[in-house]
Amino acid sequence: MKAFEFANGVYWVGCVDYDHHDFHGYSKSPEGTTYNAYFIKDEKNTLIDTVAPGKAGTLLCRLGSVIEPEKVDYLVINHMELDHEGSLPEVIARCKPEKIFCSTMALKSMEGYYAKEMQNWPVQAVKSGDSISIGKRTLVFQETRMLHWPDSMVTYCPEEKILFSQDAFGQNIASTEHFADEHDPADFLKRCKEYYFNIVVPYSPQVLKALPVVESLDIEFIAPDHGLIHRGEDCKKIVDLYRVMAEQKPRKRAVIIYDTMWHSTEQLAYAVSAGLEEEGVPSTIMSLKENHHSAVMTALADASALVVGSPTHNNTVLPYVMSALTYIKGLRPKILVGGAFGSYGWSGESPKIINEFLASMKIELPCDPVRENWRPSHDGLQRAHDMGVAIAKALKAKCGE
């Protein structure tokens, strides 16, 4: 395995993991992912970030195609989450860097993970605006707290016009391609949305503050820690996409999620969709047996309405439904309008429980939950349809129609 030189003397030395589909332990990465690390050959040979646990061999092998790992002088740690620094002890033991640079918050994380191992590590904490010379080049550090963790920072190399952006601007793509412009554009866009809405979206206010800083830099490459490198015009494209995803302006589309026991609640889901459609609002129907909660979040990238259905089971909702709701609530996407529906046999609590959950997410609920006994009657399906119409009208009003 070899390093890939993407700018003069700047190499990608990361690892492509085609089999990692459980990203960060809570989100699906259906196409695998990439742990990117970068190496700059200069008077002070500098490695930026490492890779996930068990992947150090790949990094060291690629690095070894350029330089003996022992000749690495500096190590920059942009983010201490373990998909980037899980191989830190192994890499440090081999490279023996003269200095390790990270943010103050990253130092705390490091102490949490590696209290024993780091006793003799030459760590130097840096803050926003600090810079180091590595010879012909300079590295400037900028903290980006909560993007993705409190410890996160990005590193800018003005001479090469490269922003090493750690999690920001990443995508879960496993490929032998290196640049975004080499990948299928539609799939690339989907992977950017999937990544943003499952990882970054709660920190959208911080994204909106960080984007002007990024735009103030002269950038030829944005090199994230996951997925493909943005180059040339693509740097502006991904910054613009991040602004759109962070702003989450009203989107005229709904996502309907449901679980069902004997298909009655499923019938209601399709009736809600028909009502939305008649009002000109497209919807995506997602069975939670078939769709992971991270796929729902990806769908919500293009939707501002969420309608949720569950039959009543043991006086409450089915577990996949509560699981998805809990996940969505934690990520805090901007959902403007919603509704709840479900069938029941004898007690029928679930639509009310869902409604209360949606209300706790500050979602506007334009109508009462639809609650139908046993198999929905014609009138019951009409009520679900009418809920779709009401939600569509409320959403269109939010969209300025």
81 lies in the binding site for ligand FEO (CB under 6 A): yes
259: left (phi over 0), alpha (psi -120 to 50) or beta: beta
Helix (H) or strand (E) run with residue 266 in it: helix 264-278
Residue nearest to ligand FEO (CB): 81
**143 versus 225: smaller Cβ distance to ligand FEO:** 225
Q: How far is the CB of 25 from ligand FEO (least distance, A)?
A: 11
Separation of alpha carbons 86 and 258, rounded Å: 37
79 lies in the binding site for ligand FEO (CB under 6 A): yes
Q: How far is the CB of 316 from ligand FEO (least distance, A)?
A: 33
Separation of alpha carbons 363 and 339, rounded Å: 9
292 lies in the binding site for ligand FEO (CB under 6 A): no
Q: How far is the CB of 225 from ligand FEO (least distance, A)?
A: 6
Residue 249 makes CB contacts below 8 A (sequence gap 6+) with none
Look at residues 348, 349, 28, 34 and name the one whose alpha carbon lies nearest to residue 177. Answer: 34
Give, to the nearest 10 degrees, the angle between helix 56-64 and helix 88-95. Answer: 30
103 to 142: interface string for ligand FEO, x by CB under 6 A:
----------------------------------------
334: exposed, middle or buried (Cβ count in 10 Å: 0-12, 13-18, 19+): middle
Residue 233 neighbours by CB distance under 10 Å: 8
Q: Stretches 60-68, 76-84, 206-214, 306-314: which one binds ligand FEO (CB under 6 A)?
A: 76-84
The C-alpha angle 167, 173, 175, rounded to 5 degrees, equals: 125
Q: How far is the CB of 37 from ligand FEO (least distance, A)?
A: 12
The type of residue at 134 is I
Catalytic residue positions, numbered:
24, 79, 81, 83, 148, 167, 195, 226
Q: How far is the CB of 218 from ligand FEO (least distance, A)?
A: 26
Q: How far is the CB of 55 from ligand FEO (least distance, A)?
A: 13
Separation of alpha carbons 337 and 319, rounded Å: 23
**167 versus 372: smaller Cβ distance to ligand FEO:** 167
Among positions 210-269, residues that touch ligand FEO (CB under 6 A) are 225-226
Q: How far is the CB of 7 from ligand FEO (least distance, A)?
A: 22
Query: Which residues are registered as beta bridge partners of 22?
Result: 28
Q: Stretches 78-86, 318-326, 347-355, 361-369: which one binds ligand FEO (CB under 6 A)?
A: 78-86
Residue 70 makes CB contacts below 8 A (sequence gap 6+) with 94, 95, 96
Q: Is the distance from CB of 154 to CB of 166 less than 8 angstroms?
A: yes
Among positions 145-174, residues that touch ligand FEO (CB under 6 A) are 148-149, 167
**242 versus 258: smaller Cβ distance to ligand FEO:** 242
Look at residues 241, 245, 243, 252 and name the one whose alpha carbon lies nearest to residue 336. Answer: 252
**171 versus 260: smaller Cβ distance to ligand FEO:** 171
Separation of alpha carbons 391 and 388, rounded Å: 5
Q: Is the distance from CB of 27 to CB of 86 less than 8 angstroms?
A: no
Phi, psi values for residue 115, rounded to 5°:
-50, -45
How many chain residues bind ligand FEO (CB under 6 A)?
A: 9
DSSP string, 305-338: EEEEE---BTTB--HHHHHHHHHHHHH-----EE
Separation of alpha carbons 67 and 44, rounded Å: 12
Q: How far is the CB of 165 from ligand FEO (least distance, A)?
A: 11
Kindly list the residues in this chain that would bind ligand FEO in the complex (CB under 6 A): 79, 81, 83-84, 148-149, 167, 225-226
